[in-house]
Amino acid sequence: MTTTTTDLRTPDSTIPDAARVDETRVEAFAGALLTDLAGAATTVMTVIGDRLGLFAAMTGAGPLTAAELAASTRLHPRLVTKWLAAMTVSSYVTHHPDAGTYELPAEHAMVLSLPGSPAYVVGAAEIVAGQYATLAALEEAFRGDGGIDYDVFPPSMFGGVERFFRTAYTHQLATTWFPAVDGLVDRLEAGARVADVGCGRGESTLQIAAHWPACTVTGFDIHHPSVVAARAKAIEAGRTDVAFRTADATVIGPGPFDVVVFFDALHDMGDPPAALRRARERLVDGGIVVAVEPWSLDRLEDGIGNPSVRIDYSCSTSVCTPGSLGQPGRYGLGTQGGPARRLALLTEAGFRDARLAVDDGVNLVLTAVR
Ligand SMILES: C[S@@+](CC[C@H](N)C(=O)[O-])C[C@H]1O[C@@H](n2cnc3c(N)ncnc32)[C@H](O)[C@@H]1O
C-alpha cells in the first residue's frame, strides 16, 4: 500500500541562518538542478521523437515545416509543432526562422536515427524513461525489501537495452573486445561451445554466432519474454544454430562450454557469485569466462559529475539493483562499483588469471580462465 510522503517532504520549513549560507552556491546549485530537470524533461521528447518516427522522418529530409513533418508522419500537427519547438530549444533540431522550417543535422541523426551508426545511442532514452515508468514500484522497494520483480519493468525498457547495447556489440565486440582476451578469437574460430548468460533479447548471442559460424551458441536468460523475443530474432535471421533457454544463471547447462560470456548482465543477477561458480563448473578446463560490464570506477568520488556514471548510478538504483534484490540471492551488486570488485568476484569463484582486458571508458571487459 502506498503511504503519503507529504510529511517527509517538509520536515522543517526553517530557512538556515542567512549569514551561514553562501548565496552564490545556492544559485549555482539551483541552476544545476534546473539543467538536470531540463534534461529529464527533454528525454520524454526524445522518446516521443524516437517511438513515433519523427527523427526518422527528418533524417536526410532537409528543412521541413511542421505541417510537412506532421503530414509525412501522420501525427497531430499541433503536437508536432510543439515537439519541434522543444527540440529546437534543446538544440536537437535546427530552426530556420525566416523559412519557418526545421532540420535534423546529419550529425544528430547519427546519434538519434541511424541504427548502423557507431554513435547511435538513442535507446538509452528508453532506459532512462523506464525509471519513471516504475517510480511507484521503486518507492515500495525502498520502503520494503528492496526488490522489484522483473515483470514490473516495461517492455520498452528491455527494447531500449537491446538497441543501446547493440551499437557497442556491433562496433566493438569482434573488433576490440574479444581480440583483447587471450586465446578467445582462436577458440571461436575453431568452433567453441559458447554460453551467453543473461542474453536478454539475444543481440550478443546472435552476433557471436554470425561472426564465428563454427561455434555452437546458447543464450540463457531468466526473463522469459526476452527469451521469446530472442528466439523470434534468431528465426528471422535464419539462425537455426543458436538456441535460447529460459534459465537462472545459477543453473545454466548442461554444457560443457568452452566459453561463457555475460554481457551487461552479471550485476543484474540475484547471485553473481553463484552464477560465476556455475559458469566455472560448466566450463572445460582452460575454458574462458568474459564479463562485459558498464564502465565504472573503483572509487565513488572519482565519478562525480561524469554523465555516464550519473546515469548508471541512477539506473542501477532504479532498475539493476532492485532487479537483483528481487531474486533469490538478493546480492544487489549494482552497475557501478569498479573493476576491482568484479575481478575479486571472478577470483573468489575459483577462476584464475582474472584481469581487465579492456577499459574503453564506456564498458569494462573482464576475463578469467577456469
Ligand atoms: C541489462 S540486460 C542485458 C541483456 C543482454 N545481455 C544485452 O546486452 O542486451 C540484463 C539481463 O540479465 C538478465 N538476468 C537478470 N538476472 C538473471 C539471472 N539470475 N539469470 C539469468 N539472467 C538474468 C535479465 O533478464 C536481462 O535480460
Dihedral through CA 262, CA 221, CA 322, CA 156, nearest 10? Answer: 100
- In this prediction, residue 1 carries a pLDDT of 43
- In this prediction, residue 57 carries a pLDDT of 98
- In this prediction, residue 6 carries a pLDDT of 56
- Establish whether residue 271 lines the binding site of ligand 1, counting it when its CB lies within 6 angstroms of any ligand atom: no
CB 197 within 8 A of CB 274: no
Residue 357: inside a domain: yes
Beta strand 257-263 with 242-246 is unpaired
- Establish whether residue 274 lines the binding site of ligand 1, counting it when its CB lies within 6 angstroms of any ligand atom: no
| Residue whose grid cell is 510537412 | 68
Distance CA 240, CA 235 (A): 7
End-to-end distance of the chain based on CA atoms, in angstroms?
47
Whole domain around residue 92: which residue ranges? 25-115
At 303, which helix (H) or strand (E)? Answer: none
CB 309 within 8 A of CB 296: yes
Query: Are both 140 and 265 inside the same structural domain?
Result: yes
- Establish whether residue 50 lines the binding site of ligand 1, counting it when its CB lies within 6 angstroms of any ligand atom: no
Q: Tell me, what CATH number does 239's domain have?
A: 3.40.50.150
Distance (Å) of CA 154 to CA 79, 150, 179, 182, 319: 25, 9, 35, 38, 11
Closest CA to 272 of 339, 212, 205, 348: 348
| pTM of the model as a whole | 0.93
Mean pLDDT by 10 residues, the chain (370 residues): 57 71 94 97 98 98 98 98 98 98 98 97 96 96 97 94 96 97 97 98 97 97 96 94 96 96 98 98 98 95 94 96 97 94 98 97 96
Tell me the CA–centroid distance for residue 37 and ligand 1, in Å. 30
Tell me the CA–centroid distance for residue 79 and ligand 1, in Å. 36
- In this prediction, residue 94 carries a pLDDT of 98
Q: Is the dihedral of CA 224, 226, 229, 231 positive or negative?
A: negative
- Establish whether residue 312 lines the binding site of ligand 1, counting it when its CB lies within 6 angstroms of any ligand atom: no
- In this prediction, residue 2 carries a pLDDT of 46
Q: For a pocket test of ligand 1, which of 151, 194, 268 has the largest count of ligand atoms closer than 8 A to its C-beta? A: 268
- Joined together, the cell numbers standing for residue 211 give 561472426
Query: Are both 202 and 253 inside the same structural domain?
Result: yes
Number of domains, the chain:
2
